[in-house]
């Protein structure tokens, strides 16, 4: 298993991170990047999403509403992508983008909000174990070396 675009043998998944911004993108590179199947097998449970998401503040909508939760323009982000279907049956790739803030006082969750709705963006608490595992997976991808 590798992270290569099957239609283009020179396209592989390449990770890039700037302070406060993280993303994965398909870029042209000289060689394929293969997954370490054993390491990847330890992470597949993360694909189902966090174990818990709860609403902390439902009426947040302005940037200043998120500051006290550590959520701002330079916050880390986690994007979940998945296949979806329109009302007419057209398949497309959809996603949810979580902007991640500070940990809650008990350390069990991170404050976050979803960028997907233009008007309603409640402050959420997302399972910290899942967020930490996703960030660790990003920082140390399960690739063969």
Domain-located, residue 55? yes
Sign for the CA dihedral angle at 114, 39, 136, 2 comes to negative
Q: Give the DSSP H/E element, type plus range, for residue 133.
A: helix 128-139
Q: Please say if the pLDDT value at position 109 is more than 90.
A: yes
Domain-located, residue 3? no
Domain-located, residue 144? no
Domain-located, residue 6? no
Structural tokens at position 138 = 């990003």
Are the CB atoms for 120 and 61 separated by under 8 Å? yes
Domain-located, residue 98? yes
Q: Provide the pLDDT confidence category of residue 69 given band limits of 50, 70 and 90.
A: very high
Domain-located, residue 129? yes
Q: Give the DSSP H/E element, type plus range, for residue 131.
A: helix 128-139
pLDDT (0 to 100) of residue 21: 40
In the chain, how many domains are there? 1
Residue 106: count of CB within 10 angstroms of its CB: 8
Beta bridge partners of 80: 96
Domain-located, residue 86? yes
Domain-located, residue 43? yes
**Which domain, by its residues, includes 77?**
11-139
Q: How far is CA 33 from CA 1, 29, 118, in A?
A: 9, 9, 36
Residue 139: count of CB within 10 angstroms of its CB: 10
Residue 105: count of CB within 10 angstroms of its CB: 7
pLDDT (0 to 100) of residue 31: 67
- Residue written as tokens 């054993």? 38
98-28-137 Cα angle (round to 5): 35
- pTM as predicted: 0.71
Q: Please say if the pLDDT value at position 10 is more than 50.
A: no
């Amino acid at each position: 298993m590798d992270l290569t675009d099957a239609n283009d043998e020179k396209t592989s998944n390449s990770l890039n991170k700037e302070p406060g911004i993280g993303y994965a993108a398909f870029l042209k590179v000289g060689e394929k990047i293969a997954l370490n199947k054993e390491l990847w097998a330890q992470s597949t449970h993360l694909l189902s999403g966090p174990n818990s998401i709860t609403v902390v503040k439902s009426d947040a909508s302005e940037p200043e509403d998120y500051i006290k939760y550590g959520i701002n323009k330079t916050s880390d982000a986690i994007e979940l992508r998945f296949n979806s279907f329109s009302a007419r049956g057209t398949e497309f790739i959809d996603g949810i983008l979580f902007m991640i803030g500070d940990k809650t006082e008990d350390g069990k969750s991170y404050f976050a909000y979803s960028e997907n709705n233009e008007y309603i963006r409640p402050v959420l608490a997302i399972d910290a174990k899942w967020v930490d595992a996703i960030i660790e997976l990003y920082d140390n991808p399960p690739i063969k070396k």
